[in-house]
């Protein structure tokens, strides 16, 4: 009886937290995307492409992944084929997010804008590549039927039941290409930017990049730790339940924090407030548009 009562309390807590994170992620990123398109003339943003990719990734994760976890908590599981779709998209969103941050850092360091340069085509191709790479690596566990529902992560995840070598090859390959290389690029570009390389972005939206990188690193640290623990266990046992739950909660939190981080830029914050408070109603009273002088 006590165990059942504790489960109900935990489930209520998870539902409340996931609901808040989903609302923050969906509402925040929708407002951010609307501001970027409708108010783009009110703030400076030379790196709009990685910002767009990052916002789309956060919005997709909020709409599909967080809602999927919320539904799984309420119904106590996920069924096929939604189970496999969620697992695939989760990895795609993680990869596209860190890829977008790496491209953003690279643009700040090299001074290459998202438009008006031949190198901007390379940046666009890099953004697309980060999405495609995530989809490719996310589809491998689906093809080999490694996907199972994990109550601790509150969504379908990769489970290893037979071969340590397969797990080792997959995780090392995925982390090296999708996570480690972009992270090295972020660190390298951050060092160069700190040394004075790149453009002066004090008035540009890219001034929020350091905060985005810091919060992304903090929020995804539990996920990385859980994967490293799995690598160190020859019996293929996963990381502790509390760490896997924390990894999902923190990853979801990042999707809702990013819109708030964008608003630390003053010009962008003014544009957001202007978008929210602009009165778009048409005038109902007659307006004087011209004066005609009549001859006596």
Buried b (16+ CB within 10 A) or exposed e, 262-292: bbebebbeebbeeeeeeeeeeeeeeeeeeee
Looking at residue 205, its pLDDT comes to 87
Q: Which domains does the chain have, with CATH numbers?
A: 2-273 (1.20.1070.10)
Examine the pLDDT at 163 and tell me if it is beyond 60.
yes
Query: Where are any strands of DSSP class E within 109-172?
Result: 147-150, 155-158
Confidence of residue 2 (pLDDT cuts 50, 70, 90): very low
Q: By CB neighbour count within 10 A (0-12 exposed, 13-18 middle, 19+ buried), where does 9 fall? A: exposed
Q: Which contacts (CB < 8 Å, 24+ apart) does range 86-90 have?
A: 86/155, 86/156, 87/138, 87/141, 87/142, 87/147, 87/155, 87/156, 87/157, 87/158, 88/135, 88/138, 88/139, 88/142, 89/60, 89/61, 89/64, 89/65, 89/138, 90/61, 90/65, 90/138, 90/155
Distance of CA 209 to the CA centre of its chain: 14
Examine the pLDDT at 3 and tell me if it is beyond 60.
no
When comparing pLDDT for 163 and 26, which is higher?
26
Is residue 156 classed as helix, strand or coil in its secondary structure? strand
The answer for residues whose C-beta is within 8 angstroms of residue 275's C-beta and 6 or more apart is: 31, 34, 35, 38, 39
Q: Which of 3-7, 85-89, 158-162 is modeled with the greatest confidence?
A: 85-89
Looking at residue 77, its pLDDT comes to 83
Examine the pLDDT at 23 and tell me if it is beyond 90.
yes
Looking at residue 215, its pLDDT comes to 95
Closest by Cα among 210, 223, 212, 131 to 178: 131
Distance CA 296, CA 294 (A): 6
Say how many residues make up the chain. Answer: 296
Mean pLDDT of 114-136: 83
Confidence of residue 204 (pLDDT cuts 50, 70, 90): confident
Is residue 154 classed as helix, strand or coil in its secondary structure? coil
- Residue 74 has which token pair? 């309420």
Q: Which contacts (CB < 8 Å, 24+ apart) does range 161-166 have?
A: 161/236, 162/236, 164/234, 164/236
Confirm if 262 and 268 have CB atoms less than 8 A apart: yes
Token pair 């998870």: residue: 14
- Per-residue pLDDT reduced to its tens digit, 24-46: 999 999 999 999 888 878 888 88
Confidence of residue 133 (pLDDT cuts 50, 70, 90): very high
Express as a percent the part of the chain with pLDDT over 90.
Answer: 40
Looking at residue 108, its pLDDT comes to 85
Nearest-10 Cα torsion for 28, 31, 37, 40: -90
Examine the pLDDT at 124 and tell me if it is beyond 70.
yes
Examine the pLDDT at 186 and tell me if it is beyond 80.
yes
- Per-residue pLDDT reduced to its tens digit, 76-117: 888 888 888 988 999 999 999 999 999 999 888 887 766 666
Angle formed at CA 118 by CA 115 and CA 120, multiple of 5 degrees: 45
Confirm if 224 and 186 have CB atoms less than 8 A apart: no
């Amino acid at each position: 009886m006590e165990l059942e009562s504790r489960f109900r309390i935990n489930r209520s807590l998870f539902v409340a937290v996931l609901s808040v994170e989903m609302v923050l992620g969906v509402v925040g990123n929708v407002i951010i995307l609307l501001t970027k398109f409708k108010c783009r003339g009110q703030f400076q943003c030379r790196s709009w492409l990685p910002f767009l990719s990052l916002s789309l990734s956060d919005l997709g994760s909020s709409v599909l992944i967080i809602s999927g976890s919320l539904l799984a908590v309420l119904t106590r599981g996920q069924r096929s084929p939604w189970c496999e779709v969620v697992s695939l998209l989760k990895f795609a969103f993680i990869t596209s997010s860190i890829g977008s941050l790496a491209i953003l850092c690279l643009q700040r360091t090299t001074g290459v804008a998202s438009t008006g340069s031949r190198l901007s085509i390379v940046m666009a191709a890099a953004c697309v590549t980060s999405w495609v790479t995530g989809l490719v690596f996310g589809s491998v566990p689906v093809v080999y039927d490694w996907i199972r529902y994990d109550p601790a992560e509150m969504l379908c995840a990769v489970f290893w039941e037979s071969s340590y070598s397969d797990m080792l090859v997959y995780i090392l390959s995925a982390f090296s290409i999708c996570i480690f290389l972009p992270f090295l690029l972020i660190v390298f570009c951050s060092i160069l930017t700190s040394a004075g390389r790149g453009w002066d972005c004090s008035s540009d939206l890219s001034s929020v990049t350091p905060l985005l990188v810091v919060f992304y690193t903090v929020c995804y640290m539990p996920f990385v730790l859980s994967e490293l623990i799995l690598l160190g266990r020859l019996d293929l046992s996963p990381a502790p339940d509390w760490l896997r739950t924390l990894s999902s909660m923190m990853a979801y939190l990042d999707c809702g924090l990013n819109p708030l981080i964008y608003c630390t830029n003053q010009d962008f914050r003014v544009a957001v407030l202007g978008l929210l408070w602009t009165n778009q109603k048409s005038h109902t009273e007659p307006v004087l548009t011209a004066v005609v002088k009549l001859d006596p």
